[in-house]
Structure 1
Amino acid sequence: MTDSELIALYQARDPRAVEETRAQYGAWCAAIARRRLTDSRDVEECLNDCALAVWNAIPPAEPKHFRGWLGAIVRHRALGLV
């Protein structure tokens, strides 16, 4: 699934958007979170917080570079949990 298709799912408020995001980017997001967080429970909490943040942000946000935008959200959330 392309990033544009993912964004369209979020805009349609389709719960598959979260599932697809985790399938495509979950391991990458976890790796970003693990750079700051050592406890696996904190990593999982960070990823759940990020899923909710993305769900609440789109719409109205319409990121042009979804992967980079998502990575920034994960980094900021992980820093907030340190």
Structure 2
Amino acid sequence: MDRSERIGVMVSGAAHLGALLWLMLGGIFFSHDVAAPVVTAEVTLMSEADFSALQAAAPRAAETAPAKPAPAPAPAPEP
């Protein structure tokens, strides 16, 4: 095996060794994108009777709008 073949074998071996090490250890030294935790809420089902009872107990909105105060009169212009 002459010198150029030995250099080619060494470069190829080093590249393959580097690729194998990167595959085995590459994920250890780099940060990973971690997905945000999913926010959940506990819910329950209610019957139509329960919903009607909640609606009946809710405060009612005023049927008529409260009277608006009259705006202040504009000052008279000075001569």
Q: Higher helix fraction: Structure 1 or Structure 2?
A: 1
Query: Does TM-score exceed 0.5, indicating one fold?
Result: no
Larger Rg: 2
Report which structure shows greater RCO (CA 8 Å, sep ≥6): 1
